[in-house]
């Protein structure tokens, strides 16, 4: 049985999710078995706790040790955004496969450099757009491709949360402009990637980015404040290469919303509605001859929607967030084993980053931007 050594950088929310996903993937990955070799965090004690909790063989406070470790084949990067490029490029130079959380880079020029480096090194890459791994999202993509909705006439997408809504939340790495844009990069990259996954490339856009909370405390409870230089809300009008148009919003000050990642797609024959807060359900409308009975019906996730059956043999019993992350790691293992990308990889993340950059430029210039 082939062993795949895993090195994890970062022990926060996403670091723990990666650790759980790699462990769970070992139950389904067949001839390729991921092995948790080492976890790194600048906080050495946090690294040791994660090592013990998830079963890594060792821990360190120096991420470079993972790059130099011959037992590690894959680097899983969950560090703050501004470190993604440096750590990814170091791993690629060492010939290791890379899974990096989004956004891939602070700008598209850096993302392109990362794409070219990975291609030159012949390593496999993946970026953490795990929401498109949902079996029902793959069903939606298939329905659209096969014409179940007819000609697509419109798209409305949103990713809204409220984790930055309180003005007393202190300045943090999320607001560091050296790591890229704000809500449009952090949340907008997810809904823009989802739009591309479902409807294909976006050819042009017009954006309005707004910073709602202008200053934040330098640290928790501090009297001194620090200016916020990134967006809290991004509103985009987009045109798809296929011919339809739509609207996209990214908002991390949306009071009351915990995970409103969703879309509505309308077509000449029907429509689809999805919301990540109920991500085991897909709403489907299809025109029929009886106006009195026209309406949306609910498609519920079940074992007929691969790979749901790997987790549960019964429909309606629900997948969870970490199951999507497990599916993501399983497909990454498959990519490594077969030597081809099942995405989203660095190339797709680069295309998404170009949209983020275009949104920033459009808002600054108050003009349409062609991608």
Question: Do 194 and 88 share a structural domain?
Answer: no
Question: Do 232 and 267 share a structural domain?
Answer: yes
Question: Do 305 and 220 share a structural domain?
Answer: yes
Domain end call among 130, 146, 164: 130
37 in Cβ contact with 104 (< 8 Å): no
Lowest mean pLDDT: which of 5-19, 25-39, 106-120? 25-39
Question: Do 139 and 120 share a structural domain?
Answer: no
Domain end call among 113, 130, 147: 130
pLDDT at 265 exceeding the cut of 90: yes
| Number of domains comprising the chain | 2
pLDDT in the model for residue 294 = 82
Q: For 284-298, what is each residue's pLDDT tens digit?
A: 999 876 776 789 999
Question: Do 68 and 98 share a structural domain?
Answer: yes
Q: For 79-91, what is each residue's pLDDT tens digit?
A: 999 999 999 999 9
Question: Do 181 and 117 share a structural domain?
Answer: no
Q: For 350-369, what is each residue's pLDDT tens digit?
A: 999 999 999 999 999 999 99
pTM, two decimal places: 0.95
Query: What are 140's two structure tokens?
Result: 């939606």
Q: For 168-195, what is each residue's pLDDT tens digit?
A: 999 999 999 999 999 999 999 999 999 9
69, part of any domain: yes
Question: Do 73 and 145 share a structural domain?
Answer: no
Query: What are 107's two structure tokens?
Result: 């700008």
Q: For 14-41, what is each residue's pLDDT tens digit?
A: 999 999 999 999 999 788 999 999 999 9
From the list 121, 193, 179, the residue with the least C-alpha distance to 348 is 193
pLDDT in the model for residue 289 = 66
239, part of any domain: yes
Domain with residue 99: its CATH number is 3.40.50.720
What are the backbone angles phi and psi of residue 236, rounded to the nearest 5°? -125, 140
Domain end call among 130, 164, 191: 130
Beta pairing, strands 296-300 & 281-286: antiparallel
Instruction: Please give the mean pLDDT across all residues of the chain.
Output: 96
327, part of any domain: no
- In sequence order, which residues have a C-beta less than 8 Å from that of residue 148 and are 6 or more positions away? 269, 270, 286
Instruction: Give the Cα separation of 159 and 254 in Å (integer).
Output: 9
Question: Do 250 and 233 share a structural domain?
Answer: yes
221, part of any domain: yes
Question: Do 64 and 190 share a structural domain?
Answer: no
């Amino acid at each position: 049985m082939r062993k795949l050594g895993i090195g994890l950088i970062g022990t926060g929310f996403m670091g723990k999710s990666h650790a759980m996903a790699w462990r769970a993937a070992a139950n389904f990955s067949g001839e390729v078995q991921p092995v948790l070799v080492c976890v790194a965090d600048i906080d050495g004690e946090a690294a040791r706790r994660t090592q013990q909790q998830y079963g890594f063989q060792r821990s360190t406070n120096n991420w470079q040790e993972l790059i130099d470790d011959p037992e590690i084949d894959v680097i899983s990067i969950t560090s703050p955004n501004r470190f993604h490029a440096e750590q990814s490029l170091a791993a690629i130079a060492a010939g290791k496969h890379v899974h990096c959380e989004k956004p891939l880079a602070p700008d598209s020029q850096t993302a392109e450099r990362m794409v070219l480096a990975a291609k030159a090194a012949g390593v496999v890459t993946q970026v953490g757009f795990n929401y498109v791994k949902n079996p029902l999202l793959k069903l939606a993509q298939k329905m659209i491709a096969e014409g179940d909705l007819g000609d697509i006439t419109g798209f409305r997408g949103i990713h809204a949360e409220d984790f930055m809504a309180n003005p007393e939340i202190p300045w943090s790495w999320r607001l560091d402009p050296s790591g890229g844009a704000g809500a449009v990069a952090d949340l907008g990259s997810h809904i823009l990637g989802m739009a591309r996954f479902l409807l294909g490339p976006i050819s042009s856009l017009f954006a309005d980015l707004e910073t709602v909370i202008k200053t934040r405390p330098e640290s928790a409870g501090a009297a001194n404040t620090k200016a916020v230089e990134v967006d809290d809300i991004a509103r985009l009008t987009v045109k798809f290469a296929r011919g339809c148009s739509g609207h996209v919003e990214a908002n991390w000050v949306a009071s009351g919303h915990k995970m409103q990642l969703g879309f509505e797609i309308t077509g000449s024959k029907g429509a689809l509605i999805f919301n990540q807060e109920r991500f085991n359900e897909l709403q489907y409308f299809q025109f029929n001859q009886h106006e009195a009975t026209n309406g949306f019906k609910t498609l519920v996730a079940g074992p007929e929607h691969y790979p749901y059956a790997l987790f549960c043999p019964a429909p309606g019993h629900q997948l969870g967030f970490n199951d999507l992350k497990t599916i993501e790691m399983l497909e990454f293992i498959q990519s490594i084993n077969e030597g081809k990308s099942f995405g989203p990889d660095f190339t797709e993340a680069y295309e998404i980053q170009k949209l983020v950059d275009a949104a920033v430029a459009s808002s600054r210039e108050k003009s349409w931007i062609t991608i």
